[in-house]
Amino acid sequence: MEFETEGEAFKFYNAYAYGVGFSIRRSKFHKEKCGKLRDRLFVCSAEGKREKNKCDGSMKSHRAETRFGCLARMKISCWLNDKYCVTEFVPEHTHVTSSPCKTHFFRSHRNMSLAQIVEADVSTQKF
């Protein structure tokens, strides 16, 4: 599968994630010396593990664990024709995915339309 830009690849994988029931985020990348993106890794939001907290443990409440070491990912790389191709795709998750009726709550799927942005801007203006 080919994409013109990294943004198109993100939109495609995000739409796939919406249908399956998980959220994604941009992860590792490499750039060429001229600054052009060479490759990018998109991962499930549950990928990896949370870093150990450096506090002394006197916190009043702990946040719920959101990372489970999930391996689902999609990697794109730029080829000679300046298009991004999918070079790695792992669909398996190490956790239960969400139902489609709750997927819109995930961060990567929370978007505002232009009309909503204008409406919010108008409602906050002082007259």
Sheet holding 73-78, edge to edge: 2-3, 84-90, 73-78, 37-44, 24-31
pLDDT of residue 54: 61
The number of beta carbons lying within 10 Å of the beta carbon of residue 89 is 14
pLDDT of residue 104: 73
**Angle at CA of residue 38, ends 33 and 41, nearest 5°:** 135
pLDDT of residue 57: 64
pLDDT of residue 122: 67
pLDDT of residue 85: 92
pLDDT of residue 36: 85
pLDDT, block means (10 residues), the chain with 127 residues:
90 88 88 89 82 65 71 89 91 78 72 77 65
